[in-house]
Amino acid sequence: MSNKTNQQWGGRFSEPTDAFVARFTASVDFDKRLYKQDIQGSVAHARMLTQVGVLTQEECDAILRGLGEIRVEIERGEFEWSVALEDVHMNIEAALTHKIGVIGKKLHTGRSRNDQVATDIRLYLRDETDLILDELSRLQQGLLELAEREADTIMPGFTHLQTAQPVTFGHHLMAWFEMLSRDYERFVDCRKRINILPLGAAALAGTTYPIDRHYTAELLKFSAPAGNSLDAVSDRDFAIEFCAASSVLLMHMTRMSEELVLWASAQFNFVDLPDRFCTGSSIMPQKKNPDVPELVRGKSGRVYGHLFSLLTLMKSQPLAYNKDNQEDKEPLFDTVDTVKGCLRAFADMVPALQARKEVMREAALRGFSTATDLADYLVRKGVAFRDAHEVVGLSVAYGIRMGKDLGRWNCLNYSSSRA
């Protein structure tokens, strides 16, 4: 052992790993987050090995008991993670062997860290995708309820951020709802490709043990084992897809954020964001800043960045597993955390939004927002649309000269202005 830094693969080495290299190549500081999935995968693997007769029932029982204890220790914060043991997989396996002796060394039969880590990430991402789907639904539900409450609230609709035609606030909110419906579908679709079992691929070439991958898949609730072992251990396209779906979601959330920031300004004054979602200024006493939408708008940057990191990480990698793939975790974890945080903040905030109905209505009366309706009215009275457009255009020009908007230009003050 004196010549080795690592009991799991030290056999063929004649000098210890350089201390810096050991730290440089270790992933335990961040992949320990996968401990639950790592244990879950190992439990299924041990059960399967027992089912096919590679392990005895007594060995399996000892392994499951040991893994159960390790899980409790980790959750109580009593587990000692070691950088010398590189990653979450070898830390847990070493602890198991320390606990139950030589039987612990049998767990890795017919398995490699390559198929193990791919399995862990898929289990993790499947769980997180389910949480994200729940949170997305909660936000959609909030939007739906707000849209129902505001179904009759008139506001100006915009194109080019110029007043276009009147719409209702409910109508506007349902546009956000539709965007999120497509995001929801994207995550559901992505989940199908996450939910495939890599275990059994071993390092890259499969294994000579009589394993039963279908049984392992069933135990872990994967829809099927992977079709090709080289692909199973190497590709991270499912994580890239997840980051792509997250990027589109965040892009949509930046659009909502931008509108909320505008609407909360003194200039628009369309909505009141509840105080608990805003912060003040240390110098300007009057300030109430829309921090939550601003921050969500800003956080899109890191998610887009993570998508690009993963695409670049995967690009040009020869088959099969390469150490490059260890770099998949931090961008993925941060994407998950960011998406969950943004969704939670929005799902909590949206139902508490207060529309300033009068201000919105007032704004809809400005900017000649009913000009198209007036033209359509003239068409119904028999005027050709192009002529109607021209006539209304002239009326708008007249209104601008007179400082009067169409909405205020009722017959009464029209005749009184002529008198």
Question: Is 160 a catalytic site residue?
Answer: yes
Quick check: 27 binds ligand ARG (CB under 6 A)? yes
Residue among 111 and 113 whose Cβ is closer to ligand ARG: 113
What number of chain residues touch ligand ARG (CB under 6 A)? 9
What contacts 142, CB < 8 A, 6 or more positions away? 347, 350, 351
Q: Find tokens 């693997």 and name the residue.
A: 45
Minimum gap (Å) between residue 25 Cβ and ligand ARG:
8
Binding residues for ligand ARG restricted to 108-127, rule: CB under 6 A:
113-114, 117
As a 3-state breakdown, the chain gives helix, strand, coil percent values, each rounded to 5, of: 70, 5, 25
Quick check: 326 binds ligand ARG (CB under 6 A)? yes
Quick check: 254 binds ligand ARG (CB under 6 A)? no
Catalytic site residue from 181, 223, 265, 281 = 281
CB 151 within 8 A of CB 209: no
Binding residues for ligand ARG restricted to 82-101, rule: CB under 6 A:
87
Stretch that binds ligand ARG, among 42-50, 152-160, 319-327, 379-387 (CB under 6 A): 319-327
Minimum gap (Å) between residue 9 Cβ and ligand ARG:
8
Runs of H (alpha helix) within 150-236 = 169-194, 213-219, 229-234
Q: Among 42, 325, 94, which residue's Cα sits nearest to residue 204?
A: 325
- CA 375, chain centre distance (Å): 45
Please, what sign has the CA dihedral across residues 239, 331, 75, 92?
Answer: positive
Minimum gap (Å) between residue 238 Cβ and ligand ARG:
15
Catalytic site residue from 14, 160, 415, 416 = 160
Beta strands in 252-401, from DSSP E residues, in sequence order: 271-272, 354-355
Quick check: 325 binds ligand ARG (CB under 6 A)? yes
Question: Is 265 a catalytic site residue?
Answer: no
Residue among 28 and 164 whose Cβ is closer to ligand ARG: 28
Element (H, E) at 162: strand 162-168
* Chain residues that interact with ligand ARG, rule: CB under 6 A: 27, 31, 87, 113-114, 117, 323, 325-326
Which residues are known to be catalytic? 160, 281
